[in-house]
Amino acid sequence: MTEVHVVVPDGINDPSRPSGGNVYDRRVCRGLVALGWSVHEHAVAGQWPLPDAAARLAVAAALARVPDGGQVLVDGLLASVVPEVLEPEADRLRLVVLLHMPRDEPREVAALSAASAIVATSDWTRGWLLDNYALPEDRVYVVRPGVDVADVAPASPSGGRLLCVGAITPLKGHDLLLDALATVDDPAWRCVCVGSVELDVDFVEMLRRQAEDSGLGDRVCFTGPLTDAALERAYAEADALVLASRAETYGMVVIEALARGLPVVATEVGGVPEALGHAADGSRPGLLVAPGDPQALAQALCRWLGDPRERARLRVAARSRRLTLSDWSQASRELSAVLTEVAG
C-alpha cells in the first residue's frame, strides 16, 4: 500500500472556518484513501500563516515523526512560512508542497526550493510561480480542484437573486461589490453574501455601515459561513454568482456555481478565467470585468439584470460548461500520479 503523510493546519474540519483550501485538502485526501493510499494526517495548531515559535516546532515535530524516505504532502499555508523547518528535512524526506495561493515573499521561495515537487491548483498559479520564483518547470505540477455533481438551480424571471460566496475579507472585494450594487437601479435584485464574518471583524463592521449608508441594508444579507445542506440551498436559490475578488488563484466557488448551471459575474483576476472556462460553442458562461472597478462591475450587473435574452444566453452557456467540469475523484487521481512520480 502506498503511504503519504499530510501536514495541514489545525481546524481544517472546522465548519466555522470553511475555505477553498480546506475543502481541497479534505477532498483529495479522502480520494487518495479511496485509491488505496495510506494517508496519515498531521494537523498543526497555529495562527497560520503567522506562526509563533510553538507552531514552527509543531511542524518540525510532525516531520520528525515521518520515517526516512517517507513522502510528505504539506499544505502551502504552512510550508511557505517555515523554510527553516523544511530545508533540514529536504534530503531525508520527499516533500511535496500543495500551494493554494502564492505569498510572493523570499521565505516562500526558500520553502518551495526545498521541496521535491510543488502542486499548484491552477495553470495560472503554475505560471506565476515559474515567472516569479524561477523554479524548475519539471517540479511544478497542476492539479485543479474538482466539484461535486449537483442539480441545476431553477432560474427566477428577474434574475435578481445574487449570491456571493467567500470569507468576508478585503481580498474578496465585498466593499467593491457594495459600491457597484449601490448604483444598480433595478428593484429586483437581492444579494446574499455567504462566508465567515470573523476573520476581519473591523472590515465586516465597515461593510455593514457601508450597506446602511448606501440604502442597501434590506437588500444585502451577510449569513456567515454555510456548509452542507444550508450552502446547497443558497446555491439552489440563486440566479447568478457574483465575485468581486481582488485576487484569486482559481476560484472554487466559480465551478461550484457552474455545477448548478449558474452564470458568474466576476473580476478577471488570477485563475478566475481558467475556472470559468468556456461553453461548447466557445462562449463564456458569465461576465468578466476589470478588478478594482465598481463601475465596470455595476455595468455587468445591469447587463445581467436588464437583458432577459442575455440572461438566457448565459444560462445556456453555464449549463454547457457544467457538463465539462471534473470531479474530485479526477483531482485525486491526478494528485496520486504526482505523488507516485515523486516517490519513484
Q: Please, what CATH class does the domain formed by 161-322 belong to? A: alpha beta
pLDDT at 11: 78
pLDDT digits (tens, 9 = 90+) for 95-124: 999 999 999 999 999 999 999 999 999 999
pLDDT at 109: 97
What residues does CATH 3.40.50.2000 cover in the chain? Answer: 3-146+326-343, 161-322
Q: How far is CA 118 from CA 34, 49, 95, 97, 221, in A?
A: 23, 18, 9, 5, 39
pLDDT tens-digit profile, the chain (344 residues):
599 999 999 977 776 677 888 999 999 999 999 999 999 999 999 999 999 999 999 999 999 999 999 999 999 999 999 999 999 999 999 999 999 999 999 999 999 999 999 999 999 999 999 999 989 999 999 999 999 999 999 999 999 999 999 999 999 999 999 999 999 999 899 999 999 999 999 999 999 999 999 999 999 999 999 999 999 999 999 999 999 999 999 999 999 999 999 999 999 999 999 999 999 999 999 999 999 999 999 999 999 999 999 999 999 999 999 999 999 999 999 999 999 999 98
**CA–CA distance, 161 with 169 (Å, rounded to integer):** 22
According to CATH, the superfamily of the domain at 3-146+326-343 is Glycogen Phosphorylase B; (3.40.50.2000)
Q: Crossing angle for the helix pair 123-133 and 106-113, nearest 10 degrees? A: 100
Q: Which of 305, 314, 249 is nearest to 279 (CA)?
A: 314
pLDDT at 16: 66
